[in-house]
Homo-oligomer: A and B are copies of this chain.
Amino acid sequence: MTVGKAAFVVVPEGSVTTPAGFRAGGLHCGLKKTERHDLGVIVCEVPAQAAGVYTLNQFQAAPLGVTKESIAEGGTLQVMLVNSGNANACTGQQGVDDARAMRAAGAKAFGVAEHLVGVTSTGVIGELLPMGKVLPGIERLPAGVSADGGDDFCQAILTTDLVKKEICVSLTVGGTTVHIAGAAKGSGMIHPNMATMLGFITTDANVASADLQKLLNEVTDSTFNMITVDGDTSTNDMVVVMASGLAGGEALTPQHADWEAFKAAFAFVGEHLAKAIARDGEGATKLVEVTITGADSKEAARAIAKTVIGSSLVKTAVYGADANWGRIIAAVGRAGYKVETEKVDVRLGDITVLEQSRPVKFDEERAAEYLKGDFVLIHVDLHMGDVSATAWGCDLTYDYVRINAAYRT
């Protein structure tokens, strides 16, 4: 794949353990009721340069603060622990103590300093972690960690996601081949309360923590932050990146000639995972992409894209394969940014339905056929400037209601 002068390739069967220095694993410790993995780990041979982004929900789960503490200490992580089945959110001081105890147990099990361990959780809000299950599970983790453990790790972070979400790309920077891999969970919930997006990105490139953090912030804004399944921001959302540097070669900084290529590959990984989460949204039958072009600011383009992708009326129309552009235009008009209401074009795939804000006669049957596919592109051109943004989401279906109206227990 070539993005401008940036070129990278997708590594077939690649996982978070493909970048040099990474191993992973997962096991069942008893948090999920069935015998599925509910505890996972990514381990690096060396302290990896690390960066993280965290939910903006004020009720931030306890483990997020503990991971932040770890990264703040030295900008590095060597062990990233994750459990599913319990979010350790709204659990007060006991929750913080439990997250710290997880970290301490991880440090002991893998023989590293505590500040080299990150922890994260996804699951039910408001229940204390059953530490009698978690701590023995952590003790058992090292025995099962391997270079082939990417799949075990992916299993451990799923709740009711229908598919695991991972990707690995490689590219050459300064003459050295480096890898960037990612795994994510999100949006598939049978037990409500588990609305969490988690992302884990590994790379063997030689990038320092501060540069990683800037890169992650930038990429998160245009990928993970541009997906919506139901508009509800979790208490546990988090994306962590770990860079082992073990590909060798010179340090990669924003001043390096190949930084843009690396950034493009990194952004591809983020976008791939973000879209995979949206496509696997609760009850979803299709991936919906909303692209806004011709905006006069990035903020406007993003806000309008997110308003359209988040509209329940747009989402149900897409589910019903109804080319109901009035709902799209109504969402554009309430997004909170000024638009020139006489200038807007709307296209569904390559079918123009509105031009200069005037309805265009289109083939309704062909439009319905297009909307029945498993990928739907909604393109809104505002003709006000040259800024664009893209957001991803999914349709709103009976299954969304079924999944989320089901009782927790």
Which chain B residue shows the least CB distance to A409?
Answer: B364
Alpha-carbon distance between A332 and B59 when the two chains are bound, in angstroms: 9
Q: Any chain B CB within 8 A of the CB of A358?
A: yes
Q: Any chain B CB within 8 A of the CB of A127?
A: yes
Q: Is the CB of A404 within 8 A of B233?
A: no
Q: Is the CB of A90 within 8 A of B327?
A: no
Q: Is the CB of A404 within 8 A of B312?
A: yes
Interface segment, one of A26-34, A286-294, A393-401: A393-401
Q: Is the CB of B58 within 8 A of A326?
A: no
- Per-position 1/0 for A231-249, Cβ under 8 A of B: 1111100000000000000
Most B CB within 10 A of own CB, among A87, A90, A195, A400: A90
Which chain B residue shows the least CB distance to A314?
Answer: B232
Q: Any chain B CB within 8 A of the CB of A405?
A: yes
For window 223-276 of chain A, which residues contact chain B by CB distance below 8 Å?
Answer: 230-235
Alpha-carbon distance between A319 and B331 when the two chains are bound, in angstroms: 25
Q: Any chain B CB within 8 A of the CB of A357?
A: yes
Alpha-carbon distance between A208 and B59 when the two chains are bound, in angstroms: 48
Q: Any chain B CB within 8 A of the CB of A354?
A: yes
Which chain B residue shows the least CB distance to A89?
Answer: B326
Q: Any chain B CB within 8 A of the CB of A193?
A: yes
Alpha-carbon distance between A313 and B191 when the two chains are bound, in angstroms: 12
Select A312's contact among B92, B231, B354, B409, beta carbons within 8 Å. Answer: B231
Interface segment, one of A35-43, A111-119, A169-177, A334-342: A334-342
Which residues of chain B are within 8 angstroms of A407 by Cβ–Cβ distance?
Answer: 320-322, 368
Q: Is the CB of B354 within 8 A of A317?
A: no
- Per-position 1/0 for A366-398, Cβ under 8 A of B: 001000000000000000000000000000111
Select A58's contact among B59, B233, B339, beta carbons within 8 Å. Answer: B339
Q: Any chain B CB within 8 A of the CB of A325?
A: yes
Which residues of chain B are within 8 angstroms of A406 by Cβ–Cβ distance?
Answer: 320, 322
Which chain B residue shows the least CB distance to A59?
Answer: B333
Which residues of chain B are within 8 angstroms of A333 by Cβ–Cβ distance?
Answer: 57-60, 233, 235
User: Would you give 9 A-B contacts (Cβ < 8 Å), ordered by A?
Assistant: A58-B333, A92-B357, A125-B327, A230-B312, A232-B331, A316-B400, A316-B401, A397-B401, A400-B401
- In addition to A319-B405, A364-B409, 13 A-B residue pairs with Cβ atoms within 8 Å of each other are A59-B329, A125-B329, A126-B329, A192-B317, A193-B324, A230-B311, A235-B329, A235-B333, A312-B312, A316-B400, A316-B405, A319-B401, A401-B401
